[in-house]
Chains A and B, each alone.
Chain A
Amino acid sequence: MINTQRKKAGKKMKINRVILSLVFLVLGFMIAFSYQLTKKQQSDTSMTDHEWERTIQLRNDLIDLEEKNRQLQKELNEKQAKIIAIENEMAENEKNLSKTAKEAEKLRMILGKVKVQGEGVIVTLNDGNYNHEEGNVNNFIVHEHHVLKTVNELYISGAEAIAINGKRLKNNSYIVCDGPVITVDGEQFPAPFIISAIGDKDTLEKALTIQGGVKDQLVSDNIVFKLEKLDRIVMDPTLGNRAD
């Protein structure tokens, strides 16, 4: 009887122990967990006065830096605007320069300083066949004024460059009669005279061959007039400044 009671008591004791350990487990868990949480929170938020001061100081520094940044940014924007203005000006200058260069090129072409090429016409003037029975020999040769007339007519019709026997004419060229030959810018040329002109070939042709025009006048002066239309004529530049 006593034995069984003891056994019962022992069993009860064991159950007690188990329950008690369960309670302790829960308690330990809760205490440890709470402790851990509190510690974490403290490490997150707790700040000493010194830290506060430091934080405030750093924050002020940050604000100052931001202010400075903004100012610099503003300055940068201004400078950039200035640069853009300068660049625009430069582009304008560049444009002017290229325009000027083009003009210079054109002027050089007119002056005969550079090699030029293009479509045009070639007029050949040759002396007529001299017949003793028909009077003065002077009536059968090409005179300087014939050449001059042709050249003028060509210029009027829009020729851009003209050369006589390969000699480029310039703005200050001269053509003079020198007996049986013609002097162009100091160089003497005998007949036949090959006048090449660069320009619109159809226009030039029509200008010369118009009825009562240069061709008719020359032919009536017993001159052999020949006209060729070419798609490409090349003219060398004038050499040196001899005639300038």
Chain B
Amino acid sequence: MWLPVLGLVIGITLGLLTDMSVPHEYQNYLSIAVLAALDTLIGGIRAQLQNLFNEKIFVSGFFFNIILAASLAFLGVHLGVDLYLAAVFAFGVRLFQNIAVIRRILLTKWDQKRKNEKES
């Protein structure tokens, strides 16, 4: 379990240490990409809890969603339509849904655990 945590720590350190500056107009893309990554991660956790986890779907979804969200925002900027809002909306809704599902699953598991303890 420590390896992913180590990866996360290294990633955060790298991100904080990088003194690269992105042009102002590209910062939207980065935010969208972060949102997409978070969405995929939460989705992965939910799948894991529902025993539906597939690593190929997870990994491909992670990167593909990031790239897709960024390109959507890019397209939106060039078309003059705020398409990144669509990405934000979609990802946000899915994020909340996934979190809700995770919460429900965890609650049922907890309830069951307590019931089992009482019965025993």
List of B residues within 8 angstroms of A17 by Cβ: 3-4
User: Which single member of A19, A25, A36 contacts B59 (CB below 8 Å)?
Assistant: A19
Task: Using CB atoms, name the residue of chain B closest to A27.
Answer: B37
Evaluate whether A30 and B33 lie within 8 angstroms (CB atoms) in the complex, with A24-B5, A37-B22, A41-B24 already known. Answer: yes
Is B117 an interface position by the 8 A CB rule?
Answer: no
- Report B7-31 residues with CB < 8 Å from chain A CB: 7-16, 18, 20-22, 24, 27, 30-31
Interface of B is mostly: helix
Contact with B along A7-40 (1 / 0, CB 8 A): 0000000011111111111111111111111101
B4 and A21 within 8 A (CB): yes
List of B residues within 8 angstroms of A28 by Cβ: 7-12, 14-15
Interface residues on A, range: 20 to 34
Is B77 an interface position by the 8 A CB rule?
Answer: no
CA distance A23 to B13 in the complex (A): 15
Task: Using CB atoms, name the residue of chain A closest to B6.
Answer: A21
A29 and B12 within 8 A (CB): yes
A24 and B11 within 8 A (CB): yes
A13, chain B: closest CB distance, angstroms? 10
A34 and B31 within 8 A (CB): yes
CA distance A19 to B57 in the complex (A): 12
List of B residues within 8 angstroms of A37 by Cβ: 21-22, 27, 30
Task: Using CB atoms, name the residue of chain A closest to B30.
Answer: A34
A64, chain B: closest CB distance, angstroms? 34
A-B contact pairs, 25 of them (CB 8 A): A15-B55, A16-B55, A19-B55, A20-B3, A21-B8, A23-B41, A23-B58, A24-B5, A24-B7, A24-B8, A25-B11, A27-B37, A28-B7, A28-B8, A28-B10, A28-B15, A29-B14, A30-B30, A30-B34, A31-B12, A31-B15, A32-B15, A34-B15, A34-B31, A36-B15
